[in-house]
Amino acid sequence: MAIRILGTGSYLPEKVVTNDELAQVMDTSDEWISSRTGIRSRHISIADTSTTMAVKAAKKALEDGGVKPEELDHIFVATLSGDHATPSTSCEVQKEIGAVNAVCMDLNAACSGFVYALNTAMAYAKAGMGRKMLLIGVETLSKIMDWSDRSTCVLFGDGAGSVVVEADPSRKIYIDAGSDGMKGDVLTCEERHLNNLLVKDDSPMQQVQMDGQEVFKFAVRIIPKSVNKILDAAGVSKDEIKYYILHQANRRIIEAAARRLKEPIEKFPMNVDHCANTSSATIPILLDEVHRNGMLKAGDKIILSGFGGGLTWGSVYLEW
């Protein structure tokens, strides 16, 4: 049993902040940001929350897939920036869209989160536990950035992407996923101190902190390795792959992955220029853009691949 994508949707907050606008409030420049990352602008939330963005993306995916909310048996939301510890973002989405029959769960694998959500949906489909499932990657990273750290805050944005999937025995899907907690300290956020009756620790919560160069090296090494692994597992040659939809963190990472895979850069659609890095949302947002631009037809073979905090990584081979 595999799964097939019935519909996609995405949502980006209205407010666009350009590199030049950032340069007015911090010591940076469009030249530095765009030459090192390919990012020109990002969307930043003013009125939206993770829940409102997730709901808007989900409604579009359901409409695109012709699926009614009550048909959903599961909602999986990948996020590291939900609005509350509880209720989960998935339960909030359930309430807003009226998916009364869904079992709802959030999962956090940072920028690999959407691939992990697909992995979970596939496992549920295989186990006969899931038939129609809604998957969402959503982040309001602007609320957890250290806006005084120019080396990190310029890289990220807010947004949501969603797909609705159906269990389908006729399709092939292969997934590779991995984690390396031993190297987790190169990308961290919001240390939660003990602060109880016995221990007092009022030190401020940490925001996103990253050793950019270490993450860069990890990404360039792990993406081709993981992609080659699923190509082998699927018995599919690179020539047969129409697109590689990679996590949109940095244009240079994607170009390096393309070189190492010996694949033309044209097979790697990108939107990092106008979305920046929206963590677990990058892959479904880009997939939605590609689909809505009419770039995919039934049967096309594509690969999705993500990497990020944890450290985590994951790739999926699927047939459109």
Q: Token digits for 118?
A: 């697909």
Asked if 308 interacts with ligand UT7 (CB under 6 A), we say yes
Pairwise CA distance, residues 196 & 201, whole Å: 9
- Whichever of 11 and 307 has its CB closer to ligand UT7, that residue is 307
Among 8, 45, 52, 250, binds ligand UT7 (CB under 6 A): 250
Residues 99-118 that bind ligand UT7 (CB under 6 A): 111
Q: For residue 298, what are the CA distances in angstroms to 7, 17, 60, 294, 305? A: 12, 36, 20, 11, 20
Residue of minimal CB distance from ligand UT7?
212
Q: What residues does 4 pair with on adjacent strands?
A: 166
Nearer to ligand UT7, 94 or 280 (CB): 280
State which residue, 28 or 179, has the beta carbon closest to ligand UT7: 28
Contacting range for ligand UT7; rule: CB under 6 A; set: 46-54, 74-82, 205-213, 311-319: 205-213
Residue in 249, 261, 281, 318 binding ligand UT7, rule: CB under 6 A: 249
Provide the b/e sequence for 113-135 (b: ≥16 CB within 10 Å). Answer: bbbbbbbbbbebbeeeebbbbbb
Out of 111, 153, 189, 275, the active site residue is 111
Considering only residues 25-84, where is the footprint of ligand UT7 by CB under 6 A? 28, 32-33, 36-37
User: Is 111 marked active-site?
Assistant: yes
Beta partners for 69? Answer: none
Within positions 123 to 152, which residues make up the interface with ligand UT7, using CB under 6 A? 150-151
Chain-centroid distance, C-alpha 185: 20
**From 43, 74, 247, 291, the catalytic residue:** 247
Residue count at the site for ligand UT7 (CB under 6 A)? 19
From the list 13, 115, 116, 17, the residue with the least C-alpha distance to 57 is: 13
Q: Of 28 and 206, which CB lies nearer to ligand UT7 in the complex structure?
A: 28
Cβ burial, residue 49 (10 Å; 0-12/13-18/19+) = buried
**What is d(CA 33, CA 19) in angstroms, rounded to the nearest whole number?**
7
Q: Is 154 or 241 the residue whose CB approaches ligand UT7 more closely?
A: 154
Give the whole-angstrom CA distance, residue 159 versus residue 10: 8
List of residues contacting ligand UT7 (CB under 6 A): 28, 32-33, 36-37, 111, 150-151, 154-155, 210, 212-213, 215-216, 249-250, 277, 308
Catalytic (active-site) positions: 111, 247, 277
